[in-house]
């Protein structure tokens, strides 16, 4: 969009949630916010969008069309004006003004030589004082610098490493077994320290949460590279446990959970979008459909803190209808709720159920939900829903006996009512008869 010229654009996920930078955490979300710049007459219309204040940026997202988003790095902010307390300000829409560095042509730029004033007009019902104080807090904490410095030092190291032959930089040699051991030792010590710090008390844990997620991510990557290089190793046990470890680490990671505090009135909307992004991976693993209760567990485990309630989850899922997301909530007749890909087709599942029900054994004794669960690789409760749906489509028939509730392939369709003794050679009834009639 046109904003790209004046403000850096921000990336969005397919469900319309911002893609956050490493270490970036959302702090506040406001709806119906205008972005204005009086000094620049060419400044485009930023009307009534969603404003997200993060530890690194101010993001402005146009909700009406998915054209993208604009961002203002907090590093460019040079001053935040205090709120006006005049009579006029009391009756008008609350405004928050701040000064940002800009290039000579008016483009917002951290290293710009001039500066412009940007005004946020809060049309929503949000409290400007709360936002103002949070804005201040975030701006003052300068958390975007922490990572930048880390990144800088990394790249400096690389540069110096690359030009080794030219300069005579004296570094501790990382060579031989002792070098590797020492490096491992250092890594262990720092890891150990951050683990110890984290568990000292709950407050410390909260502040360490971000670091822990980063650590987990790092460990995952290491495991990943380790397992590929040792793919040929016959040590199945080891790779199995590595896989498990990886899965655990993977489910650690929502760095910036949408909370009631940060998103306010937009809580469910933002939660809904975040959830849509989150379920992609578990959905893929579960074969396109996953029970809502499982998502609840996974999602809250990934959030770690700031757990959501079941009602929040259902509301968030219900909102998907309004957004263009690739997943949907589905309610089976029995009331069981699942999340599935919009592209998920029952046909495929039915085909597999049918082939299961046509196995010689199943023709004799039928199938039950746990058989189907094993074949389909899903939870028995979900398998039962599939069987019931297949039954309602006329694929299966039920058999209720003291032995339990079982399903058989539907042969009724194939029987000629005018001649009940007729067995057509081809067709499911014929298959069933030949499988269940003892030869001779």
Residues in contact with another protein by CB under 8 A are 366, 391-392, 394, 397-402, 406, 408, 410-413, 415, 417, 420-421, 423, 429, 432-433, 436-437
Which of 201, 377, 420 minimizes the C-alpha distance to 286? 377
Q: Are 100 and 115 in contact (CB under 8 A)?
A: yes
Which of 372, 363, 377 minimizes the C-alpha distance to 411? 363
**Cβ-based nearer residue to another protein, 202 or 400:** 400
CA distances in angstroms from 84 to 28, 88, 138, listed in the order given: 21, 9, 20
Helix (H, G, I), strand (E, B) or coil at 49: strand
Helix (H, G, I), strand (E, B) or coil at 116: strand
Q: Least distance from C-beta 125 to another protein, angstroms?
A: 50
CA–CA distance, 261 with 256 (Å, rounded to integer): 12
Beta bridge partners of residue 117, listed in sequence order: 99
Q: Least distance from C-beta 406 to another protein, angstroms?
A: 7
Helix (H, G, I), strand (E, B) or coil at 358: coil
Residues in CB range of 336: below 8 A, 6 or more apart: 291, 381, 382, 385
Residues in CB range of 184: below 8 A, 6 or more apart: none
Q: Least distance from C-beta 409 to another protein, angstroms?
A: 9
Q: Least distance from C-beta 433 to another protein, angstroms?
A: 5
Which helix (DSSP H) or strand (DSSP E) does residue 296 occupy?
helix 292-303
Q: Least distance from C-beta 366 to another protein, angstroms?
A: 7
**Cβ-based nearer residue to another protein, 135 or 432:** 432
**Cβ-based nearer residue to another protein, 75 or 430:** 430
**Cβ-based nearer residue to another protein, 96 or 409:** 409
**Cβ-based nearer residue to another protein, 167 or 418:** 418
For residue 409, how many C-alpha atoms fall within 13 Å in the half-sphere facing its CB?
26
CA–CA distance, 236 with 377 (Å, rounded to integer): 22
**Cβ-based nearer residue to another protein, 198 or 358:** 358
Q: Least distance from C-beta 341 to another protein, angstroms?
A: 27
**Cβ-based nearer residue to another protein, 140 or 398:** 398
**Cβ-based nearer residue to another protein, 335 or 417:** 417
CA–CA distance, 107 with 116 (Å, rounded to integer): 9
Q: Least distance from C-beta 415 to another protein, angstroms?
A: 6
CA–CA distance, 386 with 353 (Å, rounded to integer): 8
Q: Least distance from C-beta 286 to another protein, angstroms?
A: 27
């Amino acid at each position: 969009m046109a904003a790209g010229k004046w403000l850096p654009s921000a990336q969005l996920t397919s469900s319309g949630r911002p893609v956050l930078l490493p270490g970036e955490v959302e702090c506040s979300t406001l709806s119906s916010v205008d972005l204005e710049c009086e000094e620049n007459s060419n400044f485009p219309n930023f009307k009534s969008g969603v404003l997200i204040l993060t530890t690194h940026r101010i993001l402005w997202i146009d909700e009406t069309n998915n054209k993208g988003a604009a961002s203002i790095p907090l590093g460019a902010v040079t001053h935040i004006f205090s709120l006006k307390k005049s009579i006029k300000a009391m009756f008008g829409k609350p405004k928050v003004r701040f000064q940002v560095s800009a290039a000579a042509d008016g483009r917002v730029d951290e290293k710009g030589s001039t500066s412009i004033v940007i005004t946020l007009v809060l049309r929503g019902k949000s409290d400007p004082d709360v936002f103002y104080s949070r804005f201040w807090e975030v701006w003052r904490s300068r958390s975007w610098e922490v990572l930048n410095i880390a990144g800088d030092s990394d790249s400096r190291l690389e540069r110096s490493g690359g030009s080794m032959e030219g300069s005579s930089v004296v570094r501790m040699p990382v060579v031989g077994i002792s070098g590797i051991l020492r490096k491992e030792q250092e890594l262990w010590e720092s890891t150990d320290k951050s683990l110890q710090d984290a568990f000292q008390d709950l407050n410390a844990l909260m502040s360490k949460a971000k670091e822990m997620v980063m650590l987990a991510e790092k460990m995952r990557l290491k495991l990943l590279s380790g397992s590929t290089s040792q793919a040929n190793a016959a040590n199945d046990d080891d790779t199995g446990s590595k896989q498990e470890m990886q899965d655990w680490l993977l489910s650690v990671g929502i760095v910036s959970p949408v909370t009631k505090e940060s998103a306010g009135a937009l809580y469910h909307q933002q939660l809904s979008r975040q959830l849509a992004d989150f379920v992609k991976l578990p959905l893929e693993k579960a074969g396109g459909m996953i029970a809502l209760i499982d998502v609840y567990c996974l999602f809250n485990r990934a959030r770690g803190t700031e757990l959501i309630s079941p009602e929040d989850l259902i509301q968030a899922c219900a909102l998907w209808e309004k957004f263009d997301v690739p997943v949907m909530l589905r309610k089976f007749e029995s009331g069981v709720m699942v999340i599935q890909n919009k592209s998920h087709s029952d046909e495929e599942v039915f085909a597999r159920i049918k082939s299961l029900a046509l196995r010689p054994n199943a023709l004799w004794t039928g199938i039950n939900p746990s058989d189907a669960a094993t074949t389909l690789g899903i939870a028995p409760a979900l398998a039962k829903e599939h069987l019931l749906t297949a039954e309602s489509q006329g694929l299966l028939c039920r058999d209720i006996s003291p032995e339990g509730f079982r399903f058989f392939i539907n042969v009724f369709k194939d029987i000629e009512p005018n001649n009940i003794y007729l067995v057509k050679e081809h067709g499911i009834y014929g298959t069933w008869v030949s499988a269940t009639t003892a030869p001779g």
